[in-house]
Structure 1
Amino acid sequence: MSDSATTITFQFNDGQPAQTHVAVSGESVLDVALNNGIQLQHNCGGVCGCSTCHVYINAGGDDLPEISDKEEDFIDRAENPRINSRLACQCVVERDMQLVVTVPPQHFLGH
């Protein structure tokens, strides 16, 4: 059954349609994005060493692990940080929940 499943709906500001995907306990929002072909920058490799996987959590954020001081420091360096900003690599699914995430415009270098 779905004792450790969650859904994450990814919304985009560039006009592409929203996508909803299932995640399991222990996966991060970044993992789910990459596993489903959603381009989300992660220059540090997903270890909370940069701000490139910055997303906005529109719903379900209260169910995520509390933001760390390190994550907060990197979010302060992100482009257009908001009160609902998080780093996708730090948003780890721990139980059933429904997240709605907006992926802000990405600026891929070298493309």
Structure 2
Amino acid sequence: MNVVTVFGGESFEVETGKKLVLALEDNGVNILHRCGGNAKCTTCRVEVMAGGYQEVTHKEKKAFTDKGIDNLLHDDCLRLSCQIIVNGDITVRPILTVESTGKSAGPRPAD
């Protein structure tokens, strides 16, 4: 099992191969995922604070570029939680949550 730690929050175990966005949601983190986990809206972004998750997918690069925030990928170590497959321990800080925005999370991403 892998340990996902939410900065300033809890840690929980997650099986290898699970999408980070689902791991967060299933463990009480109300992260936004307005496009349903399709790497289009960038609302599920997290700051990766620790862990070996530096490889950005093509879909992520395109989403960040389309939104005009591609500088955040490397400057702030931001990733889309819908594109991260948990395969080791990771510490993240969710950027947009239901609580911080007042918006609904969005449709549950597919497994």
Interval of TM-score (by shorter of Structure 1 and Structure 2): 0.7 to 0.9
Letter in 1 for 2:49: N
Contact 2:20 2:82 in 1 (8 A): yes
Cα separation, partners in 2 of 1:105 and 1:90, compared to 1, 3 Å: closer
Which of 98, 103, 109 lines up with 2:103 in the alignment?
109
Aligned to 2:64: 75
Unaligned runs of 5+ in 2: 105-111
Q: How many pairs are equivalent?
A: 97
Determine whether 1:88 maps to 2:66: no
**Greater strand share, structure number:** 1
Q: Runs of 5+ in structure 1 lacking a partner? A: 12-16
Aligned CA-pair RMSD: 2.4
Once residues 33 and 4 of structure 2 are traced to their aligned partners in structure 1, the CA distance between those partners, rounded to angstroms, is: 18
State percent identity of aligned pairs.
Answer: 25
Q: TM-score of the superposition, structure 2-length normalised?
A: 0.74
2:44 corresponds to 1:53: yes
TM-score normalized by the length of structure 1? 0.74
Q: Against the structure 1 CA distance between its residues 57 and 65, is the aligned structure 2 distance closer, same or farther, given a 3 Å change threshold? A: closer
- Structure 1's consecutive aligned runs of 4 or more residues displaced over 6 angstroms after TM superposition are none
